[in-house]
Amino acid sequence: MKILDVLQKDAILLDLKSTDKKGVLDELVAPVARIAKLNHDDIVRVLMERESLGSTGIGGGIGIPHGKVKALKSLILGFGLSRKGVDFESMDGRPTYIFFLLITPENSAGLHLKLLARISRILKNDPFKEKLLAARDKDEVIKTIQEEDEDF
């Protein structure tokens, strides 16, 4: 499964305004909740519960908040950029700029892990991260992801 198989253009946010974890999750969840026709607050609660187990800020400016939602029919992905950086309680203690939000149905552990691994792997590529951070519009984000995701 490729990232663009599940990332919809409407779920891409290029200028997150929030400066804290809860605010960023609120912003990232808004389009995803609308697309999946799920309750926004329920999704944020699931994500905050997951964050309480350990931050999904993996370091290197990357955050991959994720969680499982009962009512969800199929996996959904959101993407966001923070131009200023956010204190996402990252493992390296540095600000987080690039976010992939992954919401999966409760019974889909395999897919969930495969997509998390795929996202983590491509985000190890610094030139790819730099291109994402420089993206000026949603089409540029999609094109950048498409080019990188084809290599795997």
Tallying the residues shown for the chain, one arrives at 152
pLDDT-above-90 percentage for the chain: 82
pLDDT tops 70 at residue 152: no
Residue 132 is assigned to a structural domain of this protein: yes
Average pLDDT, the chain: 93
**Total domains in the fold of the chain:** 1
Residue 75 is assigned to a structural domain of this protein: yes
Residue keyed to tokens 């960023």: 24
**Mean pLDDT (whole number) for 48-77:** 93
Residue 70 is assigned to a structural domain of this protein: yes
Residue 12 is assigned to a structural domain of this protein: yes
66 is catalytic: yes
Residue 1 is assigned to a structural domain of this protein: no
Nearest to 135 by CA among 13, 11, 8, 2: 13
CA 30 – CA 40 distance, rounded (Å): 6
pLDDT band at 103 (very low <50, low <70, confident <90, very high): very high
pLDDT band at 135 (very low <50, low <70, confident <90, very high): very high
pLDDT tops 80 at residue 150: no
Helix (H, G, I), strand (E, B) or coil at 22: helix
Q: Which domain holds residue 40?
A: 7-146
Residue 2 is assigned to a structural domain of this protein: no
Catalytic residue among 24, 25, 58, 66: 66
pTM of the entire structure?
0.94
Residue 55 is assigned to a structural domain of this protein: yes
Nearest to 80 by CA among 6, 15, 147: 15
Residue 99 is assigned to a structural domain of this protein: yes
Domain harbouring 15, CATH code: 3.40.930.10
* 13-26 residue pLDDT tens: 999 999 999 999 99
